[in-house]
Each structure stands twice: as C-alpha cells, then as structure tokens.
Amino acid sequence: MKDVNILAIESSCDETSMAIVKNGCECIQLTVLTQMDTHAEFGGVVPEIASRMHAENITMVLEETLNKANMTMDDIDAIAVTYAPGLLGSLLVGVEFAKTLSFVYKKPLIAVNHIAGHIYANNLEQKMVFPLLALVVSGGHTDLILMKDDYVFEHLGGTLDDAIGECYDKVARVLDLKYPGGPNVEKMALEGVHSYDLPIPMNDDSFDMSFSGLKSNIINLVHNEKQRGNEIRKADLARSFQDVAVDQLARKTELAIKKYNIKNMIIAGGVSANKYVRNEIKKVTDKYGVLLSVPRMAYCTDNAAMIGAAAYPLYIKGEFADLHLNASSSDELY
C-alpha cells in the first residue's frame, strides 16, 4: 500500500503544534511552539491569550513544518486536527485552519480527540497490543481506559474531581514553584523524604480516584504552618504528596490489570513525563508480566505527532469529517 502522510494540527491548550506523520507510526517532522513562558507570568494558561497566540502563529508553524520536512501540500494525503477536548477558543483556531487547508488543497479532513491522541502516541514507539490499558494522566484528565481494539474505548474509571496534573500544579503553587508545576514538584520531591502524614484517597476496590482532598489538605497544611510561623519542609511535602498521589494511580492500575486480561499497559498525557509515575507503574506491570510502553518525552506532552498517529486508523477506516466540523470542550471519548 502507498504511504500515507498525514499533516496533523494540535492547538487545544497552550501549544501550537503541527506534525507530518507517515502511516500512523513514523513522525517525519514535528513543530511545537509553546506559549508556556507567556502564561507562566499569570501562573496558568489564560484562554484568551492562548487563542490569540495560536491565531498569530499557526501559519508560520505550518510553513516551518513543511519546509523542515522538505515537503509541500502535494505530499500530504490528509489533514488531521484536534477538535476536543480543550480550550474552546484554542481548539477553534486549529479546527478552522484545518478546514481551510482541507478545502483549499482538497484533502480529506480527520477529526481527532486529544485523549485518543495521547494514547495513540504509543504507536510512534511500538504498535499497541490489545487488550490494552491506558492510564491517561494530564492537566485535565486522570482516567483508566480499556481498549480491546483500535478505537474501542471503555472508560473503567478515573478521578471524580481534580486531575492529577492540576493537583501537581496547585501543590507547586503553594510551594512557590514556577508554572508549570508538575516537573518542578517532581524535581523537588527527589530531595525530600515522606514525612508529612497525608490522607490516602479512595482506598477501595473501585476504579474511582480523587485528588481534591489531597490538594486541600496540602493547601490547609501550608496555610496553618505559615500562620503559626513554622517553616515548611518543602521537599518533604513535595515527596509526601507525590508518594500519595502516585500510589493511588498504582493501586487503581493494579486493580484493573487484575480484573482484565491486559497485554499492554500504556501511560499517556503530560504527567507520564514523570519518572516516579513511570517507575511505580512499572513495578505493577512487572508483577503481572504486562508490557509497559510510555512514549518519549516529546510525545508525552501536548504535540501534533500524537494526533497524526491517532488519525491514521480513522483514515484507513475512511472516517472523515466535513466542513461542518466544530470544536468541542466535551470530555467524551467517542
């Protein structure tokens, strides 16, 4: 079969990214223009600024991606774009741009879910094996998803409140660490010992998780210690938090692996960049002889290569979108 080159666009949050992905598994070119420094000044992503910056930069990102790949639109077989979930204004910039390219260059349009993108990022490393268990951990998601086949998603469970990445970012803020907090909390935790007594969330047999109680507990603890004029052992608190938060992921993952005949476990989303998370999940998969795959860092955080990978099975099935495609902030995964 002829090679299929998909031009993929991702603009759901604060990265304007485009990629050219061959046959859903080989990233030919990836461009990621991050707005992180701009949003860092505000301590979080400002939606209005994000969508404006996407609009300003998206044409340039396309030119750079094609130029670096030494390709033109003639070499592209289809246009893929993230349509949900994410910040509506940011998504809209990508979706409208993709629709325009599809119309002008007469290329099929493929609508990709961002979470499916995080999962399919694994196909850029090694082909996923089913039944597969995906732990999706990001700033907006903490989910355990069972896949028995391509694009067959069964949501087993996940957080009932905050996402784990959001919790990392909040903890970073109370520890006076810079945005985005996750990597900074991870770094600081390396220097600490688990010496703060924090509540263990969802110590039960369900696949449900919770992070808001843990977050509030830490905010209150820091507040109370400050009021009493006590010093906070920041590294110890970072370590105690990370231990408890990640233990919850590992416990729930183990429950799912025990219940279903999982062959391949994958960790997806921004928090999968965390080495402690990877190690703790690896302990579980090793115990049950399950293959663990985690994409390289560049494919873990938001990027368009994962969207190109997720678009490929849809291209093969002929599941194309038309010019009525709209952006959506819905969390539903099909």
Binding site for Zn ion (CB under 5 A): 138, 302
The CB-of-298 to ligand KG4 minimum distance in angstroms stands at: 11
The SS3 assignment for 317 reads: helix
CB 97 within 8 A of CB 60: no
The CB-of-285 to ligand KG4 minimum distance in angstroms stands at: 19
Residue 117 or 157 having the CB closest to ligand KG4: 117
- The residue among 133, 212, 226, 135 whose CA lies nearest residue 176 is 226
The CB-of-211 to ligand KG4 minimum distance in angstroms stands at: 11
- The residue among 14, 63, 111 whose CA lies nearest residue 311 is 111
CB 80 within 8 A of CB 110: yes
Residue 255 or 271 having the CB closest to ligand KG4: 271
Binding residues (CB under 6 A) for ligand KG4: these are 13, 138-140, 165-166, 168-169, 180-183, 186, 269-271, 273-274, 301-302
Residue 143 or 169 having the CB closest to ligand KG4: 169
Residue 138 or 242 having the CB closest to Zn ion: 138
**H helix intervals, the chain:** 36-40, 47-69, 88-105, 114-120, 164-174, 181-189, 212-227, 234-259, 275-288, 297-300, 305-317
Residue 7 or 245 having the CB closest to ligand KG4: 245
CB 294 within 8 A of CB 161: no
Q: Which does 158 bind (CB under 5 to 8 A by kind): ligand KG4, Zn ion, none?
A: none
The CB-of-52 to ligand KG4 minimum distance in angstroms stands at: 19
The CB-of-166 to ligand KG4 minimum distance in angstroms stands at: 6
Q: Which does 274 bind (CB under 5 to 8 A by kind): ligand KG4, Zn ion, none?
A: ligand KG4
Q: Which does 179 bind (CB under 5 to 8 A by kind): ligand KG4, Zn ion, none?
A: none
DSSP strand pairing (142-149 vs 26-34): unpaired
- DSSP summary character for residue 151: T
